Structure formats: C-alpha cells, structure tokens
Amino acid sequence: MSVTSEEPWVGLRIIAPPSSSSIPSATARCRCGRSRHARGKERVLVLIEAYTVHRDTCTGQSETPETTRSAA
Ligand SMILES: [Zn+2]
C-alpha cells in the first residue's frame, strides 16, 4: 500500500459558498478514472445523481477510452 502525490482523490467534492449569490460547483472522480465537473446548483445536482448511479455500476475499469488524447 503506497500513497503518492500522483494518486488523485476519488469521490465527490462539492464547493458551496455560504453566500447565496455565489455559484456552487462540484467535482466527481471515480476510481475508474472518470471525472466530471459541474458548476451551478442545478448542474451540481445532476452531477451528484449521475455520479451516484455510475458508482453503483462502475466496474473500476476505464469505461471509455480517451478519444481526445492525441497520440504521442
Ligand atoms: Zn467509475
């Protein structure tokens, strides 16, 4: 068991400023590498719901190849 600084955190992080005029944001990261970010109350709620559903069905494997990654 080793912990390195390269290891990203996994889970759900929600940033909700106490001020009602501020825009909340949330980031969800799964152990499979899936990462999502949302900004705005409604989008944050959708992200939480989507992450919860995904987490229940996640196999821990990368479900989608990084198609946007350019070949090096
Ligand atoms: Zn996953």
Question: How far, in Å, from the CA of 32 to the mean position of ligand 1?
Answer: 4
Task: Tell me which residues have their CB within 5 A of the ion that is ligand 1.
Answer: 30, 32, 34, 58
* Residue range of the domain that includes 34: 11-57
Average pLDDT, the chain: 84
Question: How far, in Å, from the CA of 30 to the mean position of ligand 1?
Answer: 5
Structure tokens at 63: 């479900």
pTM: 0.69
- Whether residue 16 is contained in a domain is answered as yes
Q: Report how far residue 17's alpha carbon sits from residue 59's, in angstroms, rounded to the nearest whole number.
A: 33
- Whether residue 71 is contained in a domain is answered as no
Beta carbons of 36 and 28 less than 8 angstroms apart: yes
Total tally of structural domains belonging to the chain? 1
- Whether residue 5 is contained in a domain is answered as no
Of 4-8, 32-36, 64-68, where does the model show the most confidence? 32-36
Give me the pLDDT at residue 58, please. Answer: 92
| Cα–Cα nearest to 12, from 63, 31, 65 | 31
- Whether residue 46 is contained in a domain is answered as yes
